[in-house]
Amino acid sequence: MKRPIIAVLALTFAALITGCSSSPTGPEQAGAPVETRTGSGPAVTTVNAGGVEGRGLPVELTDPKSILSKRSVYFDYDSFEVKAEFKDLVTAHAKFLAANSKFKMLIQGNTDDRGSREYNLALGQKRADAMKKMLILLGAREEQVESVSLGEEKPKNEGQSEAAWAENRRGDMLYSGEF
């Protein structure tokens, strides 16, 4: 009876030693850099020196001077109505999606931490859905936009004040490569 246990332990130990590998130590093992090109494609894939893949976005989505670099819509307490001050922002993103059919967007609905978990998940979904509906009415295609609720799980501000809660009542727009 002891022999099979010892044999199994020996085989397990041998498999562990054989399965372990060292991480890259030299530049020849880190992976080759990939040329970055700009063009009409939705995103540019790049590989850094460590071999980690990332997605680049067009300049109009990342330039701080562009309205498209703003990705959050804030809501009033216990509300899922897109406020007038954010309608231009949502309109700009809808126009971008309509003109760039290869892009997809994920809208994450968020809440502050007041209310039950179930209530906050439902409210976060209503916020994300309200933004999605507005984007589609303004020209984005249904298959380009997905809405999900994160409820209170991804706060922007951990504080317990009205200012902190206001930062957490939002819908975040993420483009392909950011989610």
Question: For the segment 155-172, what is each residue's pLDDT rounded down to a tens digit?
Answer: 999 999 999 999 999 999
Which domains occur in the chain, in start order? 71-179 (3.30.1330.60)
Helices (H), 20-100: 59-62, 87-99
- pTM recorded for the entire structure: 0.70
H-run or E-run covering 46 = strand 44-47
State pLDDT tens for residues 32-87.
444 444 444 444 433 333 222 335 899 999 999 999 999 999 999 999 999 999 99
Please state, as a whole number, how many other Cβ atoms lie within 10 Å of the Cβ of residue 152: 22
In this structure, of 37-51, 82-96, 119-133, 136-150, the range with the lowest mean pLDDT score is 37-51
* 145 strand-pairing partners: 105
d(CA 163, CA 77): 11
Does residue 175 or residue 28 have the better pLDDT? 175
